[in-house]
Structure 1
Amino acid sequence: MNRIALLFSGQGSQYVGMGAAWYDSFLEADRIFEEAADILGYDLKTLCMKGPISQLSKTFYTQPAILTISIIAFRLYMHEVGIVPEFSAGHSLGEYSSLVSSGVLSFGDALRLVQERGRIMEEASKADLGCMVAVRGADLHLLEELCEHFTVNSQPVTIACYNSTYQYVISGHHASVAAVARQLEQQGGQITHLQVSGPFHSPLMQQAADLLALELQKYTFSEPLWPIISNVTALPYTDVNSIRQGLYLQMIRPVRWVQTMKYMEKHGVKQGIELGPRTVLKNLAKETKAAFEVLSLDRNLDRIALQHRFSLRDWVKTVLAQAISTPNTNWNEDEYQRGVILPVRRLEELLKSIELGSSSSAYEQRHEALECIRLILQTKQVTAREKEEVLDLLRRDQDGAISDFN
């Protein structure tokens, strides 16, 4: 039984040519790029496909670009695989992509939000208050102690990202960050100065966070279709107000990615799927030795593996087998014709269509198959409890494994 989590890329994953592998084979990509261009006022598709990287790496452009590519990836995932996840989460900026995927924000609203977020962050960076440094191979307790020791007055330094059990990012005032970095290097830590425009996820972004809080109030937030795990708490959001608060606090608090992965492990996730450019989150999961594998849609071999592992054809065969094998206690011929014979035929048609290479969305086909089996179970007069048990099992057992039906 597989429990899936969708993981969305953050800033720093961008590269020239991102999205090109999907563009030619997925017609909806062009429509999404067109919507983005109408909202942003510039040709985002050309920027993503052809660069230049100097422009693509500017926060003002990076954030809308990664959001757009991530939503194309999500729509492609729903088209090719189509399984509703147990959870979703995004790394920093990726949290906005997660919110769009689960229906909390419309794509258009999220695009406007991240464009303004990028502008606010770039404006804050003009003051040159600080910087960010990636740290590898350092003891976490030592890192926390050094950040506390070198934080003085208006010169804070703090852990900005708990990326993996081997990699952290510190952020803050130039002098304080440099002092911590020197100490870590003496202890054998590996230091990389990040090419970012400011001390993100640190108290120095307070003014920017306050401006973002005002912007967040302009948009409508809906209840999520599935749980979204917060960067700030590493726990699922409880309501739309907590989402607004989380996006505000995310500007000045650390991204707790390790803790997010641990939460997913604890709650039974068996498969992570990275949606967005590159394989950053897949690599972080490996470093953390997560109990579940992460596959990236931006890697062709992973994309093929996903389609094979979560075979729609095999799963519909499972649904059809369950429909036929469930005992019947309803002897009304008219009801049996409408509620069993016709939906079984529809399942057979679905299966044949898939085998012939149907272009329909996998999500829509899975949904229709579940509606067919629901009607069949109801017509055959299966008890309410048994019906829900079967439906729940079918929803979760979407990798084509027959297992529980043998």
Structure 2
Amino acid sequence: MTGNEDPWGGLESTVAMFPGQGSQRPGMGRTLTRNYAEADEVFDECSDALGLDVRELAWDSSPEQLGKTENTQVALVAASIAAWRVWTQVGGNLAHAVAGHSIGALSAAIAGGYIPLADGIKLARRRGHLMASAPGQGSMLAVAVRGEDQRHGLITSAATFGLDVAAVNGERQVVLSGPVDDIEDARKHFGAKSTQLNVSHAFHSRLMEPVMAEWQELLSRAPFRAGDIPMLGCTSPGRLDTAMEVSNELYFGIRQTVRWDQVLEAADSFGTWVYLGTAKSLSRLRRNQTQTVQIVEDTYVGRRT
């Protein structure tokens, strides 16, 4: 059974969500592979596709090595799809929509059937290398906000600092991105409300534009296909159903603002939210929700169907 055989939204429907950069940790996915052959096979497929040991990359790297963008993105996709395979194949569960935060959108595209895992993990590796190669010294700053007025004010005023809005992560957080000096000015302005992120570049900002053409070329050669499960876009808000829509979402996903707030709004119509992989940080972006919540990571215990 595939996700599009069931109704969109409603109390009986489920949306599966995949995390982005910043949620990685050494060892992610290790316990799942020990407990489930389905997860182990994912790491085999990824390692074979890339010609490198993804287990060693995800499990034995130092936090600094794993934090390199080209490594982070591969490890996150592998761990996320391992959790997805266990949740669906072992647990016998079904998602009616998928969504992902930044690189998580690629995990969502793989889970939704829009691109095979072997090709998707290659895109993750190339995406990471491209984003890490973008010229200029950039950084990112997460700013806590209270209320819609404060959030809207920050979004509209980002340009006064010479920055772009990298992400709107819900009701309580906006992430700014841009040159290091401008980030430092914004950090001094916002003070304790802000946290400078441990990233190497200004992702989701104009500093990514020099690599956009090559990223588009890579996507144009990738074997996208009709998927099985609709996807919630985070740069193109709404329901995505076609290979072209999903490919475009991934293209704009390295430059445009991640509107996770709009993903959460769309997900409100689903009765169950499932966070897959190293997704606890993602689950914290929404509080006081009424939906049933599941987190599928290394401690997950599924049932054989």
Q: Fold conserved (TM > 0.5)?
A: yes
Aligned to 1:271: 272
User: Which of 100, 103, 108 in structure 1 is aligned with 2:118?
Assistant: 108
Q: Which one scores higher on RCO, CA 8 angstroms, separation ≥ 6?
A: 2
Q: In structure 2, what is the Cα distance between the partners aligned to 1:141 and 1:79? A: 42
Query: How far, CA to CA, are the matches of 1:137 and 1:264 in structure 2?
Result: 22
Query: How far off its partner does 1:235 sit?
Result: 0.8
Aligned counterparts of 1:184 and 1:109: Cα–Cα separation in 2: 42
Which residue in the other structure is 1:290 paired with? 289
Give the conservation status (yes or no) of the 8 Å contact 2:280–2:295.
Answer: yes
In the TM superposition, 1:138-157 aligns within 5 A as 139-151=150-162, 157=163
How is 1:66-81 mapped onto 2 (pairs within 5 angstroms)? 66-81=76-91
Structure with bigger gyration radius: 1
For structure 1, the 5+ residue unaligned runs are 152-156, 308-356, 363-406
Please tell me whether residue 248 in structure 1 is matched to residue 251 in structure 2: yes
Superposition map of 1:90-169 within 5 A: 90-124=100-134, 127-137=135-145, 139-151=150-162, 157-169=163-175
Q: Identify unmatched segments of 5+ residues in structure 2.
A: 1-10
- Corresponding residue number in structure 1 for 2:3: none
Structure 1 position 254, deviation (Å): 0.7
Give the CA deviation at 1:24: 1.5
Of 289-298 and 85-94, more deviation after overlay is shown by 289-298
Q: What is the rounded CA distance, in whole Å, between the counterparts of 1:220 and 1:236 in structure 2?
A: 21
**What CA RMSD, in Å, does the superposition of the two structures yield over aligned residues?**
1.8
1:231 to partner: Cα distance: 1.4
Specify which of 174, 185, 189 is matched with residue 179 of structure 1.
Answer: 185
Runs of 4+ more than 4 Å apart: none
**Greater alpha carbon shift after TM alignment, 109-118 vs 136-145:** 136-145
Deviation at 1:104, TM superposition (A): 0.3
- Higher-strand-fraction structure: 2
Q: Does 1:262 align with 2:262?
A: no
1:30 aligns with 2:49: no
Is contact 1:234–1:257 with CA below 8 Å preserved after alignment?
A: no
- Measured in 2, the distance between the counterparts of 1:162 and 1:291 equals 21
Match status 1:85 vs 2:84: no
TM-score normalised to structure 2 length: 0.90
Rounded Cα–Cα distance in structure 1 between residues aligned with 2:57 and 2:161: 41
- State the shift of 1:299 in Å: 6.3
- 2: distance between equivalents of 1:176 and 1:146? 13
Structure 1 residue identity aligned to 2:282: L
TM-score relative to the length of structure 1: 0.68
Amino acid at match of 1:30: D
Whole-Å Cα distance in 1 between the matches of residues 167 and 282 of structure 2? 13
In 2, Cα distance between equivalents of 1:278 and 1:149: 33
* Aligned residue in 2 for 1:388: none
